[in-house]
Structure 1
Amino acid sequence: MGTKWLAGALLGLPLAVALCTLSILWLPGGWETGIVAALVACLPVWVTIISCSLLFRTSRSAWLWLGGANLLCFGALWALRLAGLAPAALPVS
């Protein structure tokens, strides 16, 4: 089993957050209408990623694939923000 579960745990949480964020950006009411659903869905998505990380043949492939998926998802979020299609984070007042 090696450190495949560790790759799923450490790289799976940001991946789950990014996937849930990408999924709510396209809702008709905007991200404000789906933020609670995304937060609730984040935990099952994370557990699924951890479970699926055990299916990789080696620990190295788990780290590389999950790291690449993180780069892809966060790159998409960054590109959407730069294009003006996704809102920037609001400052705390």
Structure 2
Amino acid sequence: MSRIYQLLFCISCLVFCWLAMMGVHELGHVLGGLFTGGSISRVVLHPFSISRTDLSVNPLPALVVWAGPVLGVLLPLLFWLIGRLLRTPVVALL
């Protein structure tokens, strides 16, 4: 395989991982907002900007703030654990 294809593969994997990380992180904020009775007004997911979740009503801001990083850590670990238990061959990618 040519070096350019390897480089293109590595860059595309990094971009995908970055977008997936932002999506899982913002999902945590959204679920935290909905769980506390908040009202989600906008979720910004753009590859060239910092992602964010805007709530118009936020009864428990601390819980919503912490839900993003907590779910961002726990959900990938859960996927990895399930892949490990099922002995999937792509568990290293998880």
TM over 0.5: no
Q: For this structure pair, what is the TM-score category when the shorter chain's length is used for normalisation?
A: 0.3 to 0.5
Rg: which structure is higher?
2
Instruction: Give the structure with the higher percent helix.
Output: 1
Instruction: Give the structure with the higher percent strand.
Output: 2
TM-score, scaled relative to structure 2: 0.35
